[in-house]
């Protein structure tokens, strides 16, 4: 956390139970406030979302998780879009992408509503649209993510 506070963490990775088109994450509770389903909570995710120069969200892509607005903001993305992070004084750069089981979303002007830039192999744009809880404006073109090559190594 000290490295993030000093501005020395370039990229963080976080996940959540819900994400919205502005990259806000929820790991606190889902459902109505009078009967919420309590989730594990934040851990260090709000620190990563607030202090890392940028972060990437990694999640399974399901309609119940990709919602118009999260039920509770645990980790800030772009708030309500545009210049929200600057207006609130968050030093980090915010989310740069959401990597999902169906594709790759990038943020433009604090909004991922343009839809995926890439779709996973064998996944159609209609499948992505069906599992996303907001109306997508699709990038042109939406390319297919290249599969790992045989020579790729993580060592």
Domains, the chain, with CATH or none: 2-144 (3.40.1080.10)
User: What pLDDT score was predicted for residue 23?
Assistant: 94
User: Dihedral of CA 126/128/133/137: which sign?
Assistant: negative
pLDDT tens for the 155 residues of the chain, in order: 888 888 889 999 999 999 999 999 999 999 998 999 999 889 999 999 999 999 999 999 999 999 999 999 999 999 998 789 989 998 888 999 999 999 999 887 777 777 788 999 999 999 999 999 999 887 678 899 887 777 766 55
3-state class of 84 per DSSP?
helix
For the chain, strand residue ranges (E) read 11-14, 18-19, 25-26, 29-30, 37-38, 54-59, 95-100, 103-106, 116-119, 143-144
Contacts of 25 (CB under 8 A, 6+ apart): 14, 15, 16, 18, 19, 45, 49, 57, 70, 73, 74, 75, 77
Separation CA 128–CA 108 (nearest Å): 18
Helix, strand or coil, per DSSP, at residue 147: coil
- In 3-state terms the chain splits into helix, strand, coil percentages (rounded to 5) of 15, 25, 60
Reduced to 3 states (helix: H, G, I; strand: E, B; else coil), residue 125 is: helix
């Amino acid at each position: 956390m000290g490295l993030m506070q000093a501005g020395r963490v370039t990229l963080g990775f976080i996940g959540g139970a819900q994400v919205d088109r502005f990259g806000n994450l929820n790991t606190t509770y889902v459902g109505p406030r009078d009967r919420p389903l309590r989730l594990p909570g934040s851990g260090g995710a709000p620190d990563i979302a607030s202090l890392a120069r940028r972060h990437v969200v990694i999640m399974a892509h399901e309609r119940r998780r990709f919602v118009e607005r999260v039920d509770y903001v645990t980790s800030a993305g772009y708030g309500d879009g545009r210049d929200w992070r600057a207006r609130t004084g968050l030093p980090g750069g915010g989310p740069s992408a959401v990597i999902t089981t169906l594709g790759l979303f990038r943020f433009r002007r604090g909004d991922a509503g343009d839809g995926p830039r890439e779709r996973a192999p064998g996944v159609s744009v209609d499948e992505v649209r069906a599992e996303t809880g907001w109306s997508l404006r699709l990038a042109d073109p939406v390319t297919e993510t290249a599969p790992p090559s045989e020579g790729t190594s993580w060592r």
